[in-house]
Amino acid sequence: MSTILTYIAISDGKLKRSSLEVLSHCKSLADASGASCEAVVIDANASSFVDGIQKYGASKVHVVEDPIFKNHMNTPLLKALSKVMASVNPSVFAFASTEGTKDVLGALAANQNAAVIADVASFELIDGGVKAKRPVMAAKIMNNTEAKSEKVLVSVRSGSYDLNESLESAEVVNVDFSMDDSEMKSTLREIISASGDTIDLNEAEAIVAAGRGVKDEEGKALISELASVLKAGIGASRALTESGVYDPSLQIGQTGKVVSPQLYIAVGISGAIQHVAGMANSKVIVAINKDPDAPIFEVADYGIVGDLYKVLPPFIEEIKKIKG
Amino acid sequence: MKFYICIKMVPDVYAPLQIKEGELIMDADRMVLNAYDASAVEEALVLKEKHGGEVEVVCIGPAKASETIRKALAMGADKATHILATGDEEYDSASYAKILSAFFKDKEYDVIGLGKQSQDTDSGLTGSMVAEHLSLPYTTNAVGLEVENGNLVVKRQGDSGQEMIELPTPCAVTCSNDMNDPRIPNLKGIMASKRKPIDQVEISSLGIDETELQADTKVTSYEEKPARQAGKKYEGEAEEVAREVAQLLDTEANVL
Ligand SMILES: Cc1cc2nc3c(=O)[nH]c(=O)nc-3n(C[C@H](O)[C@H](O)[C@H](O)COP(=O)(O)OP(=O)(O)OC[C@H]3O[C@@H](n4cnc5c(N)ncnc54)[C@H](O)[C@@H]3O)c2cc1C
Ligand SMILES: Nc1ncnc2c1ncn2[C@@H]1O[C@H](COP(=O)(O)O)[C@@H](O)[C@H]1O
């Protein structure tokens, strides 16, 4: 029987929702094709996540637990992934497309002599491999890509699949792992974290995103207030992460993150294709821009033409009223 | 430090395009230097200016890619290797990674720099593949590079924060365009680029089995994205439209 394996990413001590989305999809593929649906979790506290994982249908969870996985480092992660992959021998190994995944995916494919399709919007099984849809040309169009190989790695954009619970009591396989210092190829010196209370943009239900139109502290304060009444995450265009106004982790777009919240409010953002590439899958898009011809209006469900400094205060006030 | 920067010629994402019966039709003349690679070149030039060394660019591509190579030379790279492809091969990231690795096998260098992804396909695979083939320490998505005591110190953008990683040389690193604004070549640079050497290399001379280069992945067709309908634009008095849209988000869109 073939196996579809899903890598479950842990970030800031939590299961990444995007990994569970991928697992949900893999479970349905496995059920339809008679394959076994398995998962692997690699973390300093990996075993504590088994309960959360089996809820989404994995019949076996491979657990690699070692203090070395407290922070992301590609050498140990690659070693663990290679080891699990070699022993499970999955026909498909699926990942959520996080920065952690992007750091090792190509290397794992080279190491395991597997075919790989990165950053897909959807994928399915075909005879002898995998077929996927990928956004290309700054997400202006899609292509269909096929990988024919006994082993295929695939990484999936967040928000591509819905969570789907289907409780299994998974068999737990503890994987032996050790690594000594001499094997470490690089050193992690320091982690510079984004400002404290940030919401994971990949998981946010609502996002307020600021662009170059937000010029000063007053503008930033309005963005923060709107985000707080909506319990939204704050994102930013490249114009503002580049100039240091917002933390680089908050950049949304081709270079930054791909997000798909229920509500996306673009404030003072022109709508360059590279920005739109990261947010066009949001369910409802609101744009606030003083230029009636700004391209962002082409993707917005609700476009407010106006000066953000004049629009935001009554907009925030009205939302506060509605929220009671 | 000796830097090799891998640069790719890619289609300009701003060029008009059309899809006919699953085929992508666009102007084959509108090709550019991949933006992420331009950032890698820029950073190598800055480090060379500070610490000395040499910056060589390597490009696998058809004859036309010499324009892309000239651009990097005009920015200030010292020399170039052009690994000739016909342009008709259906290579994927894995194929390019194998060719690059074969090229680097007997070379001496401190840092191999690449872009974090190709801006047309966003694959982002080649860098870590090359590192794995050559057993090099590496990191990806760099937003800052420094040289300290002969090591490369990389600031990389991770999922939630930035990580400072120290790599011994030789090593590989993939670069984000968040690292810098690549310089625009000036006239002097453009003139100088014409005198800089471009070494042309045939893939067959690199000692790789051609069948190994056959791509495992294949693009079978292109299609339009499900179009997003532009919604309604609300113009007029700021206070009024702001309140109206807020109401609609509640009653019509149901997202509040
Ligand atoms: C390879 C590559 C990758 C890239 N990746 C990304 C990415 O991941 N994310 C990203 O965002 N960009 C990315 N970019 C950059 C992108 O092309 C744009 O330069 C950037 O998105 C512009 O940001 P902006 O819309 O905030 O600024 P601008 O384009 O300058 O737009 C500012 C907007 O604010 C409006 N405005 C000004 N004042 C006000 C006011 N008072 N009230 C209301 N509206 C106002 C203006 O009308 C204008 O439309 C990338 C570019 C390249 C080449
Ligand atoms: N044909 C090529 N010639 C030189 N470098 C390349 C080539 N293809 C890919 N690269 C390098 O690999 C990076 C990532 O490529 P990709 O895996 O296609 O996203 C690019 O930014 C380049 O630095």
Residue B227 buriedness (CB in 10 A; 0-12 / 13-18 / 19+): exposed
Which pLDDT value is given to residue A29?
Answer: 98
Rounded Cα gap, residues A200 and A16, in angstroms: 9
Q: Is the CB of B10 under 6 A from ligand 2?
A: no
Q: How many residues does chain A have?
A: 324
Chain A residues with beta carbon closer than 8 angstroms to that of B140: 74, 102-103
Percentage of residues of chain B with pLDDT beyond 90: 94
What is each CA distance from B47 to B3, B75, B148, B151, in whole angstroms?
Answer: 9, 14, 11, 12
Interface with chain B: mutation pick from A302, A312, A320, A322, highest number of B CBs within 10 Å = A302
Q: How does pLDDT run across B106-131, given as a tens digit for each residue?
A: 999 999 999 999 999 999 999 999 99
Q: CA A307 to CA B236: how far, in whole Å?
A: 11
Rounded to an integer, the average pLDDT of B223-238 is 92
pLDDT at A196 over 70: no
Q: How confident is the model at residue A168 (pLDDT cuts 50, 70, 90)?
A: confident
A262 part of contact set with chain B, CB < 8 Å: yes
Query: What pLDDT digit, counting tens, does each position of B48-68 carry?
Result: 999 999 999 999 999 999 999
CA B253 – CA B95 distance, rounded (Å): 47
Q: Which residues of A touch B219 (CB under 8 A)?
A: 143-145
- Looking at residue A58, its amino acid is A
Pairing status of strand A92-96 against strand A3-8 = parallel
CB contact under 8 A, A306 and B13: no
Burial class (CB in 10 A: 0-12, 13-18, 19+), B168: middle
Asked if A149 lies within 8 A of B255 by C-beta distance, the reply is no
pLDDT recorded at residue A194 = 62
Q: Please work out whether the CB of residue B6 comes within 6 Å of at least one atom of ligand 2.
A: yes
Whether residue B61 contacts residue B200, with contact meaning beta carbons closer than 8 Å, is answered with no
Q: Nearest chain B Cα to A149, which residue?
A: B216
Q: Whose CA is nearest to atom 6 of ligand 2?
A: B8
The whole-angstrom distance between A149's CA and the closest CA on chain B is 7
pLDDT bucket at A173, cuts 50 / 70 / 90: very high
Residue B146 Cα to ligand 1 middle (Å): 28
**Yes or no, beta carbons of A117 and B121 under 8 Å apart:** no
Pick the CATH number of B2-213 from 3.30.565.10, 3.40.50.620, 3.30.930.10, 2.40.280.10: 3.40.50.620
Evaluate if residue A195 carries a pLDDT over 60. Answer: no
Q: What is the pLDDT of residues B201-230, one digit of tens each?
A: 999 999 999 899 999 999 999 999 987 888
Nearest to B137 among A111, A149, A186 (CB): A186
Q: How far, in Å, CA of B67 to CA of B194, rounded?
A: 11
B123: nearest CA partner in chain A: A118
Q: Give the per-residue pLDDT at A197.
A: 58
- Across B230-254, average pLDDT: 96
Mutation for A interface: B101, B112, B125, B167, most A CBs within 10 A: B125
Task: Report the pLDDT value the prediction gives residue B66, as an integer from 0 to 100.
Answer: 97
Q: Work out the average pLDDT over B219-245.
A: 94
Cβ-Cβ contacts under 8 Å for B44 (sequence gap 6 or more): B3, B5, B55, B77, B111, B113
Please give the pLDDT value at position A116: 98
Residue range B136-160: mean pLDDT, rounded? 96
Nearest ligand for residue B14 CA: 1
Query: How distant is the alpha carbon of residue A239 from its chain centre?
Result: 22
* Pairing verdict, β B31-33 and B23-26: unpaired
Alpha carbon of A236 to ligand 1 centroid (Å): 9
b/e A257-270 (16+ beta carbons within 10 angstroms → b)? bbbbbbbbbbbbbb
Mean pLDDT of A105-115: 98
Whole-model pTM over 0.95: yes
Contact A178/B at CB under 8 A: no
> How many Å is the Cα radius of gyration of chain B?
22
Q: Residue A311 C-alpha to ligand 1 middle, in angstroms? A: 19
Distance of CA B23 to the CA centre of its chain: 24
* Bridge partners for A233 per DSSP: A207
User: Which amino acid would we find at residue A25?
Assistant: H
- Compute the CA torsion angle B184, B187, B192, B194 (nearest 10 deg): 90
Q: Is B119 touching ligand 2 by the criterion CB < 6 Å?
A: no
CA dist B16 → A116, B65, B226 (Å): 29, 20, 18
Give the pLDDT confidence of A223-233 residue by residue, as tens digits. Answer: 999 999 999 99
DSSP states along B64-122: GGHHHHHHHHHHT--EEEEEE--S-S---HHHHHHHHHHHHTT---SEEEEESS-TTT-
Confidence of residue B161 (pLDDT cuts 50, 70, 90): confident
- Tens digits of residue pLDDT in B12-53: 999 999 999 999 999 989 999 999 999 999 999 999 999 999
CA–CA dist A286, B231 (Å, integer): 9
Percent of chain A with pLDDT over 90: 91
Domain ranges in chain B are 2-213
Mean pLDDT of A182-189: 92
Sheet of A152-156: strand order equals A115-120, A152-156, A92-96, A3-8, A36-43, A60-65, A171-174
Q: How far is the CA of A269 from the centre of ligand 2 (A)?
A: 30
CA B109 to each of CA A13, B2, B53, B149, B199: distance values in angstroms, whole numbers, following the listed order: 39, 5, 10, 16, 17
Cβ pair A198, A234 in contact under 8 A: yes
Ligand nearest to the CA of B72: 2
B155 half-sphere exposure, CB direction, 13 A CA radius: 15
Q: What is the mean pLDDT of chain B?
A: 96
CA distance B139 to A186: 9
Q: Pocket around ligand 1: residues whose beta carbon is below 6 Å from it?
A: A 211-213, 237-239, 251-256, 268-270, 272, 274-275, 278, 288-291, 294, 307-309; B 35, 119, 177
Distance CA A187, CA B164 (A): 8
Name residue, tokens 């190709």. B118
Nearest-by-Cβ selection for A193 from B122, B161, B177: B161
Whether omega before B137 lies within 30 degrees of 0, making that bond cis, reads no
Could you tell me how many helices (H) and strands (E) chain B has, helices first? 6, 15
Sort out which chain B residues have CB atoms less than 8 A from A131's CB and list them. 220
- What's residue B212's pLDDT? 92
What are the residues whose beta carbons fall under 8 Å from the beta carbon of A5, sequence distance 6 or more?
Answer: A26, A38, A39, A40, A62, A84, A85, A88, A90, A92, A93, A94
Residues ≥6 apart with Cβ < 8 Å to B102: B206, B207, B208
Q: Please give the Cα distance from A312 to A153 (Å, whole number).
A: 45
